[in-house]
Chain A
Amino acid sequence: MKKREEVRTLPEDGLERLIGLVRSRGYCLVGPTLRDGAIVYDEISAVSDLPAGWTDEQEAGRYRVKAREDAAAFGYNLGPHSWKRFLYPPRTQLWQTTPTGEATLQPVGAAARAVQELDFIGGSTTPDRPFAFLGVRACELSAVAIQDRVLMGGAFPDPHYQSRRESALFIAVNCSQAAATCFCVSMGTGPEVTGGFDIVLTELLEDGSPAYLARAGSAAGESLLAQLEHGPASPAELDRSRVQLDQTAGSMRRELAADEVRGLLAANLEHPRWDDVASRCLACTNCTMVCPTCFCSTVEDHTSLDGTATRTRSWDSCFSLDFSYVHGGSVRASTRARYRQWLTHKLSTWHDQFDSSGCVGCGRCIAWCPVGIDLTEEVRAIASEPGDRQETTS
């Protein structure tokens, strides 16, 4: 067996040393931390920043943190943040103009107009420091792979995303429990971390205190683990980690028929359920903001008094009215059309556009919907009474 694939036991202070090591290599280390009643992702510098002893309880329209009876640092599932906040930030400056040369008044056409040379200066595409992410879940790695295809898999890779993505280090963790909102098993994205990581950790509890197994997935991960003293994991430890993953997978209560849903939704664009969900949906955009794969954006231009223009890209949502505006009005004026756009995009047309589903089954949109709309339930409702649409003639 190659050394890299070996599962090792970290020493007692292993996680603390790993954190120090990563930071000493110049990374901005981002990990889970408890803030304002939620576990969010932010820069961390020590194990004490992690939400040790806390977990999250989630249901449709409900999220709350709760104290655990042990000191697990990764004993929660997912909060409102995802890593897209760092790889594809909510706001990015794309460019700025500087007036090069003097603005001169030249007689052009009938009227005298200011003729100014335009110069566009692209915004910085590299982060100040490369990111290292700690505590990345299996479904989140799948979400990153999905955004990779959207933002750098086509003819015009987004240079901002690409530089952040390619310099990032992923320290993943296998889930030791599932939230009630999780459905990664049916989406084929979890709970076990199988690829796309530099290091994957498994948190095992010994008398309520955490111990860690670690495995490298890349040369960068290997070179970090090589600096920590460790031995190979024992057969008993490997067994426990397997049982823990099986229990996590087995406890998942929600599911989505990932194979059938693509065709199902495409064939049911006029299903009455769209009216039903539209009567509940507030078009608040929460689901799209918390979703780790949603990538829709808008741009805003600002011009300052000295004539310098700045273009900023920011997250947007297919739930906003302006999103589908063309001259004369919005194409998707009703909430029905906007919810239909969102769900069919996630689960059906995403396959056509980017060769994968747009959903990894993380359940964030379920928990953070203020009215508790659950996409798995909406799909089930449509599947239970599929219409026979399509082939309408014009």
Chain B
Amino acid sequence: MAAGGAQRPDPLVPIPVTVRRRRRESPDTWSLQLECAGPWPPSLPGQFNMLYAPGVGEAAISISGEPGRNGLLMHTIRSVGAVSRALGDLRPGQQLGLRGPFGVGWPVGEEAEGRDVLLVAGGLGLAPLRPALRALLDRRRSLGALALVYGTRGPPDLLFRGELARWRRDRRLQCHVTVDQAGPEWQGEIGVVTRLLPRLVFRPGNALALLCGPEIMMRRTAAALRDQGVPESAIFLSMERNMKCALGQCGRCQFGPSLICRDGPVLRYDQVRPLLVVREI
């Protein structure tokens, strides 16, 4: 049975989707805009799909853009190994397999109303936060403060540059960008994201913080925010582990009590903090 029909689809079987646009974000990262023969299954910011590169294999990839008026869904992929390289290599017109969406996304619905929302992204971590930021900008008036802090290795690694430039000009958003290393031509900040946190204007007790990036970056950022007075239960982070099924059935994505594909990838800091410091958990 092919998935996507009227019958309950087999969650283990991908549906074919087609690349319509491909954009180079950085030397090793590509954004693909995908078209689906039928309507896209509804997704939420922070959810992910399992993408199958024909003949190579499958990888968990966050949704970096929900289908807009053009009906295309966006994924942003860093080539680090066989599967991600093959995915990033796909050209317009070529097909791939997709299962999803899976997981629990960012709390950017009613939970965010009236809150001072901080997004802190490291590297590729901006990809899953992009749909969250766009959703928040759409409902900007119902929020308190809104801030994005984004750090990457170097200036060539900055993603979504056109949009980033717009975000930096947007008066409704406090947007700070920093890089680990840069040559003299770089006019911006150098250093880790945590250094920029004290510059943000927000009420810690009313804050909602969404973090995505390497585990060490999220750990340090979460600890820094907590020290600034943000309640641990108001800090959310998106975790990464090995994933095969995305259905809560292969056991691979366990993080202590959580199955990250099912209970995450977005998890609350107060629930994961004790485990974040246990090595090899």
Q: Chain A residues in contact with chain B, CB under 8 A?
A: 94-95, 97, 106, 108-109, 111, 113, 115-122, 125, 150-151, 154-156, 158-160, 266, 269-270, 295-299, 301, 303, 307, 309, 313, 316, 318, 323-327, 331-334, 336-337, 341, 344-345, 349, 352-353, 390-394
State whether the Cβ of B262 lies closer than 8 Å to any Cβ in chain A. yes
Q: Using Cβ atoms and an 8 Å threshold, which residues of chain A touch B81?
A: 327
Q: Using Cβ atoms and an 8 Å threshold, which residues of chain B touch A299?
A: 58, 244-245, 250
A295 engages B251 (CB within 8 Å): yes
B97 engages A115 (CB within 8 Å): no
B280 engages A333 (CB within 8 Å): yes
Which one, B65-73, B87-95, B169-177, is touching chain A?
A: B87-95
Task: Tell me whether A334 and B97 are in contact in the complex, defined as CB-CB below 8 angstroms, given that A109-B92, A318-B251, A324-B241 are known contacts.
Answer: no
State whether the Cβ of B206 lies closer than 8 Å to any Cβ in chain A. no
Selected from B10, B55, B220, the residue in CB contact (under 8 A) with A125 is B10
Smallest beta-carbon distance B47→chain A, Å: 13
* A-B complex: 10 closest residue pairs judged by Cβ atoms: A352-B257, A337-B280, A296-B251, A118-B16, A156-B11, A109-B91, A156-B247, A122-B13, A118-B95, A303-B55
Distance of A392 Cα from B222 Cα, bound (Å): 15
State whether the Cβ of B252 lies closer than 8 Å to any Cβ in chain A. yes
Q: Using Cβ atoms and an 8 Å threshold, which residues of chain A touch B241?
A: 324, 326, 331
State whether the Cβ of B240 lies closer than 8 Å to any Cβ in chain A. yes
Distance of A214 Cα from B220 Cα, bound (Å): 63
Q: Using Cβ atoms and an 8 Å threshold, which residues of chain A touch B41?
A: none
Main secondary structure on A side of the interface with B: mixed
Smallest beta-carbon distance B87→chain A, Å: 13
Q: Chain B residues in contact with chain A, CB under 8 A?
A: 1-3, 10-16, 22, 54-58, 80-81, 91-97, 219-220, 222-223, 240-242, 244-245, 247-252, 254, 256-259, 262, 273-274, 276-281
Main secondary structure on B side of the interface with A: loop
Closest to B276 in A: A394
Task: Tell me whether A325 and B2 are in contact in the complex, defined as CB-CB below 8 angstroms, given that A119-B16, A309-B54, A349-B257 are known contacts.
Answer: no
Q: Using Cβ atoms and an 8 Å threshold, which residues of chain B touch A95?
A: 10, 12-14
B257 engages A353 (CB within 8 Å): yes
Distance of A125 Cα from B3 Cα, bound (Å): 13
Distance of A303 Cα from B252 Cα, bound (Å): 24
Q: List 26 A-B contacts (CB under 8 A).
A: A106-B93, A108-B92, A117-B16, A119-B16, A122-B10, A150-B249, A154-B262, A155-B262, A156-B247, A295-B250, A299-B58, A299-B245, A301-B56, A301-B57, A309-B54, A324-B252, A325-B242, A326-B242, A331-B241, A331-B281, A333-B280, A334-B280, A341-B281, A353-B254, A353-B258, A394-B273
B254 engages A345 (CB within 8 Å): yes
Q: Using Cβ atoms and an 8 Å threshold, which residues of chain A touch B22?
A: 109
A108 engages B93 (CB within 8 Å): yes
Smallest beta-carbon distance A332→chain B, Å: 5
Distance of A150 Cα from B245 Cα, bound (Å): 13
B12 engages A323 (CB within 8 Å): no
A116 engages B3 (CB within 8 Å): no
A159 engages B242 (CB within 8 Å): no
Q: Using Cβ atoms and an 8 Å threshold, which residues of chain B touch A309?
A: 54-55
